[in-house]
A and B are shown apart, each in its own frame.
Chain A
Amino acid sequence: VANRLDRWADPPLLVLASLADEPKHGYAILRDVRETMGVRLTAGTLYAVIARLEAVGLIEPLASNDRRRPYQITAAGRAALAEQSARMRRVASLAQARLGERYGWAGA
């Protein structure tokens, strides 16, 4: 069960978080997710996620002159990311507060 706790690292969420500051192309997303979030996405997973997010309108492609097409997060994507982030923050705050009350855990 402990190994499954890393499911917070849902690939669509990671891609949305990666695109939250600026548009990025596929390789830049992979690198950003690896370096800032510590998760290694594979090319197959990344493009499955990009296709799904684009299909539901959470990200959109930008015009590009080369083959590395950048993507940007849409308004709907920002709203979805904000909502999910708030939910995760509530869970994290609750977990930390309870750990602190019961075990005196002061956080990492």
Chain B
Amino acid sequence: VNGPVPAGPGPLARLALMLYPPAWRQRYGDEVRALLEEAGSGPVTVASLAVRAVPAWVNPPRHLHDRGARMRASVATVLVAWSALTGAGAVFVQLTQLQGFRVPGHPLVQWCYLIFDAALAVSVLAAAVGGVPLWLQMVRLARQQRRRRELAWLWMAVAVPAGYMAVALTALTVVHDPEASGSWWFAGFAVLGFAAAGLASAGPAVALKRLAPGGPAVAIAAAAAGLAAAAVALAGLASAIAAAGLCLWATSFAGYHHAGLAWGYLLIVVAIATTATVSGGRGVRATFAIPAR
């Protein structure tokens, strides 16, 4: 005799389940859905599922912890975030340090410039030390496996910045009029630069996901990504403090560049730096974690 078809979990319960990490859902999702069909999914159940999703992300159970996948995901996230932050850093340098803004009586801004320069240099070094060996390994892997599409994604890291530089140099050579290199040109180059940085970092990130390389190069890259993320976040923080200081104490800065632009920059930097730091931290933790039995 066919009994009544059990009602599936309600939309809120399904939504709460979606809050869990993919590995957790893959392992326990079906079981929890079966349980909810029998036990019901009232507000208390939905709330408990939603609340318990937080520790599942922050401190995932070790048997669900795929160290290699975690490290690769962190490297990819930090790479994209790092590219965006270094791009934002280049804009910051152009609009502040290279314009010669000084704030007499407020040495904080000058200190922030110094910290910004040093931290950015450290992050570039870390990105190079961690990224180049992994990139070379992936190129080798893609060539061995004849993965042309992945090879194309990887070469975007070289071809796109080279193309951007070629376009920028050509434009500057063709346009001789110094007056023409005003704020519109700068805005154009900046937008194009962010697009180029996004493509150049997304290429290797996609290849990393598809090729799924392993070995020491991934661990080194994940550790370096953590360092690069921390350094670039420090640079972002220093630039944010400097920009805030300039808005408050150097009226010519805010008047010239509009305070709204500066505060928008701060928000973007904080959001991306937080993403990079959290992801980089998780990658470092995976690098040094003792494998589950």
Contacts and interface: CB of A to CB of B under 8 A. Distances in A.
Contacts of A105: none
A55 B63 contact: yes
A47 B52 contact: yes
A102 B252 CA distance: 81
Given A27-B38, A48-B52, A51-B56, A69 B31 contact: yes
B31 A26 contact: yes
Nearest to B38: A27
11 contacts: A30-B35, A44-B45, A45-B48, A47-B32, A51-B28, A51-B56, A55-B61, A55-B292, A57-B293, A66-B34, A68-B31
Interface string B56-74: 1000011110000000000
Interface string A8-37: 000000000000000001110010000000
Contacts of B32: 26, 43, 47
A43 B52 CA distance: 10
A45 B46 CA distance: 11
Contact of B31 (A44, A48, A57, A67): A67
Given A48-B56, A51-B56, A51-B64, A67 B48 contact: no
B120 interface: no
Interface of A: 25-27, 30, 42-48, 50-52, 54-57, 66-69
Contacts of A54: 61, 63
B39 A43 contact: yes
A51 B31 contact: no
Contacts of B16: 44
B24 interface: yes
A48, A56, A57, A66: residue with the most chain B Cβ atoms closer than 10 Å? A48
A44 B64 contact: no
